[in-house]
Amino acid sequence: MLFELKEKPLIIAGPCSAENRLQVLKTAEALKDLPVSLFRAGIWKPRTKPGNFEGAGAESLQWLQEVKEQYKLPVAIEVAHPQHIELALQHQIDVLWIGARTVINPFHVQELAETLKGIDIPLMVKNPVTPDIDLWEGAIQRFEKAGLKQVAAIHRGFSSYNASLQYRNHPNWIIPIELKRRRPDLFLINDPSHITGKASLVKEVAQRAMDMGFNGLMIETHPDPANALSDAAQQITPTQLKDILEHLIIRKQTTADVIMKSELEYLRQLMDGIDAEIIDLLARRMELSDRMGGIKKDCNMTAFQPERWNEILESRSSRGEKHYLNANFITALFEHIHDESIRRQVEVMKQISNAAKP
């Protein structure tokens, strides 16, 4: 099986788009001696705006057949319509994937699942563009219910209006981690190309995915990235891919070292105790929020106090820095705490208001 949980990661590589026959075959030639298990290429490209290169279309399926025949590399493409699936099957495409823009629409996903009913082909499902784990898991389930036995998930990051300057798509690692918690049997692939949007950062994110126990990597690779017709900035050369794979550190899920296991268990127990203290402290903090809600109601004040919130952010971030805690982490943490605090205060104010009614 292709999506079998192993110690070594599944490596998927190839260009963002199949631009022409020479480019496709040149890429495959450069990848054939690397530990690449699957050759990927975009045939139909869903571009954000019209006028950009939208793929070579059905014509390029023949080029992928040549990749299979000449270089013995299985091939994978993205499909977004039933017609795409029909053409892919006619040209003996080995693996299909569903893109982020398609996954966001359950109607489209269901239509594709029904088209694939009864067909035994490996399928990969990218996360939706929005950080919605239920939508992602639901798409996977639709294909599984259609009878597909090999379904994998691809983490390609999430779009955001306030996108990080560092990455093209925010990785939001907690979402694939939660998906893996819900589905420990699910094969999870990381797409550092789409997450970073920058070739220089692909190696860093690929290693982080390995550190977190991902089962595979999908990396966009082009013989001449600077002149690529789509997503030029995020594609790397086959030589760069070779360097990444040679230096990639593959982590294990466990260790046979008894002493290290014992030390790890000891530290986990300490951490469990601290987590219990954190929860107890949060409960005490929320009790104070409830009391504040009552006072604000009596004084006809708003639950949200901007000046106080700015003071909290500044003071907590400053304290966190003294303990070498990441400022973004502290901000995100207290945003959640503050949101819950305001929610509880509003509820208290409602209760008091309702009790005053005749």
Q: Which residue stretches of the chain are H helix?
A: 21-31, 59-71, 82-90, 100-103, 106-115, 133-145, 174-182, 192-196, 202-211, 238-247, 258-298, 306-322, 327-355
- 3-class secondary-structure state, position 33: coil
Dihedral of CA atoms 140, 146, 147, 152 in degrees, nearest 10, equals -20
Chosen domain end from 247, 270, 291: 247
Is residue 76 classed as helix, strand or coil in its secondary structure?
Answer: strand
Residues 168 and 60 in one domain: yes
Tokens of 312: 């909290």
Per the structure, the complete domain to which residue 93 belongs is given by 10-247
- Residue 250 to residues 6, 7, 104, 240, Cα–Cα distance (Å): 11, 8, 32, 18
| Cα distance between residue 4 and residue 122, in whole Å | 11
Contacts of 81 (CB under 8 A, 6+ apart): 112
CB 226 within 8 A of CB 199: no
Candidates 272, 290, 273, 267; CA nearest to 340 is: 290
Enter the tokens of residue 159.
Answer: 């779009």
pLDDT at 234: 97
pLDDT tens, the chain, 358 aa long: 899 888 899 999 999 999 999 999 999 999 999 999 999 999 987 766 777 777 788 999 999 999 999 999 999 999 999 999 999 999 999 999 999 999 999 999 999 999 999 999 999 999 999 999 999 999 999 999 999 999 999 999 998 766 556 899 999 999 999 999 999 999 999 999 999 999 999 999 999 999 999 999 999 999 999 999 999 999 999 999 999 999 999 988 888 889 999 999 999 999 999 999 999 999 999 999 999 999 999 999 999 999 999 999 999 999 999 999 999 999 999 999 999 999 999 999 988 555 555 5
Q: What's the chain's Rg over C-alpha atoms?
A: 25
Q: End of a domain among 224, 247, 270?
A: 247
- pTM to 2 decimals? 0.85
pLDDT at 58: 92
How many whole angstroms separate alpha carbon 92 and alpha carbon 17?
19
Looking at the structure, tell me whether residues 312 and 208 fall in a common domain: no
Q: Which two tokens stand for residue 154?
A: 């691809």
The domain boundary residue, chosen from 223, 247, 271? 247
Are 78 and 174 contained in the same domain? Answer: yes
Within a domain: 111:
yes
pLDDT in the model for residue 166: 84
Closest CA to 124 of 78, 169, 93, 80: 78
Residues contacting residue 36 through CB under 8 Å, at least 6 positions apart: 11, 12, 13, 73, 241
Are 274 and 184 contained in the same domain? no
Residue 138 in domain: yes
* Number of domains into which the chain is organized: 2
- 73, part of any domain: yes
Give which of 6, 4, 13, 8 is closest to 223, Cα–Cα: 13
Residue 3 in any domain: the answer is no
CB-side exposure of 202: number of CA atoms within 13 Å?
25
Q: Check whether residue 236 and residue 341 sit in a common domain.
A: no
CATH of the domain at 313: 1.20.59.10
Residues 287 and 306 in one domain: yes
pLDDT of residue 52: 78
